[in-house]
Chains A and B, each alone.
Chain A
């Protein structure tokens, strides 16, 4: 089972900031939070990851709360091409190792 909770869907107006929340209340202290997105008919694309500090790259910003139980991915100026399913992932530790478990993600629709 995924260890994260995300809203099923969100809309955002083109040119506005898209803020995608994620709850990961059971995250352990030494685990990163990873964000991916999947545009229709493509494989998931890595966006950003973070541990405890806020992170920014050319694609997005990641804000992680101080208790690390939740995070927000920010697309500062959403475009139509940002329409995709966004996945927030925390690795799951099991008997075999530590792997990604994808939930259903958030379907972001950027509207003109």
Chain B
């Protein structure tokens, strides 16, 4: 089974420039997540999609970050304009949430991430 694919693996830009990241989730996974991981910290959720609808974008800096999942499969995350503090690894994850007997099982599978450096 193919895993979560992300590209590019690395990106270096100057502040105020724009950048976009792409994610292809595991086939059949309806839920897709974008996380930001700053060096030395755990990943922080930016946005969660269920199919092509946004479930949670409460931590997405909407003045500069945007994300879409138009056909409920691939997703792109964009930063425009970038700031120095956006330097981080951007991780995409997908999951197939299962619900039964009052229990919700949600195993997320992560891509390798895109390492962004803003100079």
A interface list, Cβ under 8 A from B:
2, 30-32, 34, 36, 41-46, 49, 51, 87, 91, 94, 96-105
Q: Would A43 and B42 be within 8 Å (CB), given that A49-B107, A97-B56, A98-B106 are in contact?
A: no
CB pair B42–A46 under 8 Å, yes or no, is: no
B44 contacts across to A, CB distance below 8 A = 102
Q: Report B3 CB to chain A, min CB distance, Å.
A: 9
Say whether B72 faces chain A, with CB atoms less than 8 Å apart: no
Known: A51-B103, A97-B55. A45 touches B42 (CB 8 A): no
B22 at the interface (CB under 8 A from A): no
Known: A43-B112, A44-B110, A49-B105. A99 touches B41 (CB 8 A): no
| Interface class of chain B by DSSP | strand
Taking chain A's interface residues, is the majority helix, strand, or loop, or is none over half, making it mixed? Answer: loop
A87-B42, A96-B56 are known contacts. Are A46 and B106 too (CB-CB below 8 A)?
A: no
Q: How large is the interface on B (under 10, 10 to 19, 20 to 34, 35 or more residues)?
A: 20 to 34
Residue-wise, chain B 38-76 has the 8 Å CB interface mask toward A (1 for contact) of 001111110010000001101000000000000000000
Q: Does B79 sit at the interface, judged by CB under 8 A? A: no
Taking A41-B115, A49-B107, A101-B45 as given, write out 19 further A-B residue pairs in contact, using a Cβ cutoff of 8 Å, ordered by the A residue number.
A32-B104, A42-B112, A43-B4, A43-B93, A43-B110, A43-B113, A44-B43, A45-B110, A49-B105, A96-B48, A96-B55, A97-B56, A98-B104, A98-B106, A99-B56, A102-B43, A104-B40, A104-B41, A105-B42
Chain A residues with CB below 8 A from B82, complex form: none
CB contacts (< 8 Å) of B108 on chain A: these are: 44, 46, 100
B115 CB contacts on chain A under 8 angstroms: 41
B32 at the interface (CB under 8 A from A): no
With contact pairs A42-B112, A44-B110 given, residues A2 and B56 touching in the complex (Cβ less than 8 Å): no
